[in-house]
Amino acid sequence: MGYHRKCEVRVEMTTTVAALPVRYLAWRKFHVDNSDVFDIFKRFAVEAFESGRERLGSRIIAERMRWYTLIETQDVEGWKLNNNHIPYYTHLLMYTDDRFADFFELRPSRFDATREMILDAHRACLDAQKDSD
């Protein structure tokens, strides 16, 4: 029950995987369906990095994203960022941009994805973007 619960699902990936963690599967679907979320996460992380910050917690970026979409863009019908998705976006940025390898303050957590899983989900997101263009 809870975090350790697994589900048998077939997902479109470069390799077929069964019994993936539920949180990972939820993030993967959200990421593929909402490719702009990672772009905004990265944009605000770059702003923080370029301001001279040496380390930062990723939740502050998530809250900035929420402020941006709700207050600045007034997009009340758009995506809602689940707290469970934040570690996946954090690791994705760390894996895809060397500037962020040691930027985020990581706490012990029940993070359930490997580097390969995160990057595979991102490839699926990029493929979905190409298909929609």
The 10s digit of each residue's pLDDT in 46-61 is 999 999 999 999 999 9
Contact 56, 104 (CB under 8 A): yes
Q: What angle do CA 116, 17, 118 make, to 5 degrees?
A: 25
CA distance 122 to 52: 28
Binned at pLDDT 50, 70 and 90, residue 113 comes out as confident
Check residue 15 and give its pLDDT: 39
Which structural domain, as residue segments, surrounds residue 13? Answer: 2-132
Going by C-alpha positions, the residue among 102, 98, 90 that lies closest to residue 45 is: 90
Contact 37, 30 (CB under 8 A): yes
Look at the chain and report how many structural domains it folds into.
Answer: 1
Check residue 89 and give its pLDDT: 94
CA distance 93 to 90: 5
Binned at pLDDT 50, 70 and 90, residue 88 comes out as very high
